[in-house]
Amino acid sequence: MQGYTTMVSEALEALPEPPTHVFAQAGVGSMAGAAQAVVASYGYANEPVFTILEASTANCFFRSFEQGKMVAVGGELNTIMAGLACGEINPLAWDIIKNYSSFCLSCRDEVSALGMRIWGNPLGSDEKIISGESGAIGGGVIGLLGKYHNLKTDLKLNKDSVMLFFNTEGDTFPDKYRDIVWGGLLPVEFRRRNY
């Protein structure tokens, strides 16, 4: 976990103002736990809203929050987000995440695919981000806010929000990346269940 602290510290130092929202994907939770620990150590006057993002087929954090204790998820854990297909929590990460997270979202593969398309084809002068499946989940969540207004309200997002995301994966499988970003694999169906 300690290795992630440099990445998080550098990201926070690069921001022109403190983040109001931090989104971190979790497999075993090491990166997300390290991110939360570093953000908490900065002692911001207004603590950022911290949201854990995970694959719905490996949603051990989501289930652990529901049950109030660490829960493992078994089975095949089939997801395009291979880096998040863990099913078991790092106990050290859990001790941090359970105390500092505001939300935990269990996301279908389509959410990640949407994030890959949004970041790979930005609007206006936004920079293009080449992100693999595990790294793009945050972009997909933001892309769905127009359809899920309650999520935007619950997360307290508005025009003044300063959001921090961590893209932990590049284009690791070029053919799959093209199938998703250019070929439209895994389109989002806007339904009310499972963000």
**Confidence band (pLDDT; 50, 70, 90) for 170?**
very high
What's the pLDDT at 55?
A: 98
What number is the average pLDDT over the span 39-44?
95
Q: Is residue 114 part of a domain?
A: yes
Q: Which domain holds residue 17?
A: 2-181
- Contacts of 194 by beta carbon, 8 Å cutoff, 6+ apart: 56, 106, 107, 108
Asked whether residue 189 carries a pLDDT value surpassing 90, the answer given is no
Angle between helical axes of 174-181 and 109-120 (0-180°, round to 10): 90
Q: Is residue 189 part of a domain?
A: no
Q: Is residue 113 part of a domain?
A: yes
Is the CB of residue 88 less than 8 Å from the CB of residue 64? no
Closest CA to 119 of 108, 101, 104, 134: 134
Beta bridge partners of 104: 52
Report the domain count for the chain: 1
Is the CB of residue 109 less than 8 Å from the CB of residue 55? yes
Model pLDDT for residues 1-35, shown as the tens digit of each residue? 999 999 999 999 999 999 999 999 999 999 999 99
What's the pLDDT at 190?
A: 56
Q: Is residue 37 part of a domain?
A: yes
Q: For the domain that residue 74 is a member of, what is the CATH number?
A: 3.40.50.1100
Query: What does the mean pLDDT of the chain come to?
Result: 94
Q: How many CA atoms lie within 13 A of 112 on its CB side?
A: 28
**Confidence band (pLDDT; 50, 70, 90) for 195?**
very low
Closest CA to 42 of 18, 14, 71, 62: 18
Q: Is residue 186 part of a domain?
A: no
Q: Is residue 195 part of a domain?
A: no
Beta bridge partners of 22: 50, 164
Asked whether residue 124 carries a pLDDT value surpassing 50, the answer given is yes
103's enclosing H/E stretch is strand 103-107
**Confidence band (pLDDT; 50, 70, 90) for 188?**
confident
Model pLDDT for residues 61-113, shown as the tens digit of each residue? 999 999 999 999 999 999 999 999 999 999 999 999 999 999 999 999 999 99
Model pLDDT for residues 45-65, shown as the tens digit of each residue? 999 999 999 999 999 999 999
Alpha-helix residue ranges (DSSP H) falling in 87-172: 91-100, 109-120, 137-143, 149-154
